[in-house]
Amino acid sequence: MIRRNSLLLILLSFQLILVLYVNVNSATQNYIPRGVDIDRSNIPKNILLGSFPGGRSHVKPMLDIAAILAERGYNITLLETGENELSLEYPAIKQISLGPKRGLRDIGVVIDKEVLDYKKMSKLIELGVKSYKRTYEKYKSVAEEYNIDLFFCDLLLNDACIDVAHALKKPIIGITSALRTMDPKPYKSDPLIGCNISLENESISERFRCNFIQLIRVFYSLSGVMNYLNDIRKQMNVEPGYIIPGRSVKASLILVDTFFGFELPQTLPPYIQEIGPVLSEVYPPLTPELSDFINGHERVLYVAFGTRFFTTIDNNSKLLQSFIEAVDKKVVDGVVWSLVETSKNDFHPTLKLSDGTQVQTSPILNNEHPHIHIAEFVPQFTVLNHTNTKLYFGHGGSVSSQESLYTGTPMLVLPFGADNMGNAQKLISTGVALSLSIDNLDVNEILNKVDSLLKDENVKKNLEKIKVIAKINSKRKYRAADLIEYVLHSSTFVEYINDDFLKELFPAESRVGFIRAYNLDIYAILLSIILSIIGVILAKLINLFHSLIRHSSDDQKSKRD
C-alpha cells in the first residue's frame, strides 16, 4: 500500500513538472492570432445577379449565395425573367424583372412521346436569341444605374449577361449545374444528345459515335440559331464574351452547383469550383392544410415535376390513376401532388381503374379524396424533410435531386428532357432511384417501382451514405461567397479585365493549346524517331535477307557448274 502511494506521488510530480515546463516554454514563444475575416474596406460592393430563364431552380442557388454576401455588406441586385416570386424570401436583395416569363407552352413544345432533347432545346435557345437585344439593353441599363462591379450570371441562355459584363470590362462569375458542358471529358456524355452519361464501359463504336458523330449533329442543329445570335451582335456592334476558357475572353470563375457522389467524378481545373448542393438555411413552412394532411399519413408519396414541365392529358390521367391505386392497394397511404404547369383541365373527366371501377377526377382534383392532396405550390424541401414523406416522384431536376439526396428520400424519376435524363442515370447509378419513360407510361410499372423503392434495403443504405456527402458539401456555398469576394478583391489590382486577370486559376493548357498541353508534339517526335529506328532496322534486315538469297543462289549455281 505504501509502495503504491509512493508510485502515485511520483507520477503526479512528473505531471506537475511537465505542465510547468509547457507553460514556461509557451510563454517564451510568440503567437500570432489568425484572423478569420478579411478587410473589405476597398473591395467593390455592387453585384448584379442575372438569370434569363428565371424560376426557383435557376435563381434560388444564386440567391442563397448572394444572401451571404449581403450579410457581409455587399449590394445585391437580381435581374431575372418573371415576377420575382422569391422577393419575400430574400428581402435584402433588390429584384428587378427582365419581363414576363415564357415557358414551353409559349413556344409550342409538348412533351408527350418524346423527351426534350437537343433538337427541341434549339427552340428554347431561339427564344433566348430573339430576346437578346431587349435583354442586353436591360442588363446594361441596370448595370450602369447601380454601378455594378461584378456580374454573377446563370449560364443557361444568358449570353446577354456575359456580353454586357465583357463590354463594361467587369469580372464574370458563371453558375450552372451542368458540369460536363463546362469541362467536357471524353469518358462522359449526356442522354440529351442520345448517349449515356458514362462511356467507361461502352464499345469503341459507341464512344466514337458519342464523341464525334453526335457532337457534329448537335453543332449542325444549333448552328443556325447561333449564327442568328452573332448577326444580332454585329448589328448592335457587340463583341461577344465567352464563359469557356480558351476563347477570346475568359470567365473569372465558374461555380458548379453539384457534388461528387451525385455527379460522376472527374478532375477539375481551378477556375471551375464545385460548390453544390446549394441549399437555403430556412424554408417556407407547410400550410396548415398540408401539415394536417402529412401528419395524418405515415407513408406519403410526394409528386412534383418542377415549375416548367407538363405532359399530355393521357399521361396525367395515368399518373392520377396510379396514385389512386397505390392508396387503394396500401402501397402508400397518402399522396401530395404539386401541380404548377398542369391545370385541372389537363385530365380525363373519368378514370377506369385496373379492377374496372370508374372514378371521377374532378372531386379528387378539388381535394375531396381523403388520401390525395392537390396543391399548386408546395414548399418542396419542407415536405421532403418530413419524416412521413417516404418517396419522391419527380422529373429529375438538379435542385430537386439534391434536396432528395440531402433528406435521404428515394426517388422515382420521370425525365421530361434537358438535364432530367442525365440526372436520372446518375441517381440510378448511385443506387437511390428508379426511372420511367414518358414514351410508354404504365400504371402497373409505376405501382411496382413505387413498392420496390419503399422496400429495397440497399436503396436505404445507399441513401444514408449519400446523405452524409450531401450534408457535408452543403456548407460550400460559403466558399462560393468567399471566392466571389476574392474575384472582386483581385479586380482592384487591374485597370480592366484581360487575359492576365486571375491567371492563378487557369492552368497552362488553357493558354498553350491542346497539342502542347498534352505534349502531343513531343510524342509525335518520339514516334517519328521510333519509326525511323524501326525503318533502319527493317532496311538492314531486308538487305541481309537479299544478301542471303544471293549467296544461296550463287552456291547453287557453283554446285551446278
Checking 167-171 for CB contacts under 8 A at 24+ apart, the result is: 167/140, 167/238, 167/239, 167/241, 168/140, 168/143, 168/144, 169/496, 169/497, 170/143, 170/491, 170/497, 171/252, 171/253, 171/487, 171/488, 171/490, 171/491, 171/497, 171/501, 171/502
478-492 pLDDT, tens per residue?
999 999 999 998 888
Q: Is 11 helix (H, G, I), strand (E, B) or coil?
A: helix
% of the chain exceeding 70 in pLDDT: 84
Paired residues of 273 in beta bridges: 255
What is the phi/psi pair of residue 153, to 5°? -110, 125
The pLDDT of residue 187 is 92
- For the domain spanning 288-473, the CATH number is 3.40.50.2000
What's the helix, strand, coil split of the chain in %, to 5?
Answer: 50, 15, 35
Domain ranges (residues) in the chain: 46-184+239-280+478-511, 288-473, 519-551
The pLDDT of residue 19 is 47
Topology classification of domain 46-184+239-280+478-511: Rossmann fold (3.40.50)
Q: Within 13 Å and on the Cβ side, how many CA atoms surround 69? A: 31
Paired residues of 176 in beta bridges: 256
What is the phi/psi pair of residue 386, to 5°? -75, 135
Cβ-contact 339, 364 below 8 angstroms? no
Task: Quote the mean pLDDT of the chain.
Answer: 84
Of 438, 431, 392, the closest CA to residue 191 belongs to: 438
Confidence of residue 34 (pLDDT cuts 50, 70, 90): low
274-302 pLDDT, tens per residue?
998 999 887 888 989 999 999 999 999 99
The pLDDT of residue 65 is 95
Shared fold status for 46-184+239-280+478-511 and 288-473:
yes
* List of E strands, 189-264: 253-256
- pTM summary value: 0.84
- Whether 249 shows a pLDDT value over 50: the answer reads no
Q: Within 13 Å and on the Cβ side, how many CA atoms surround 491? A: 25
DSSP string, 249-305: S--SEEEE---BTTBPP----TTEEE------S--PPPPHHHHHHHHT-SSEEEEE-
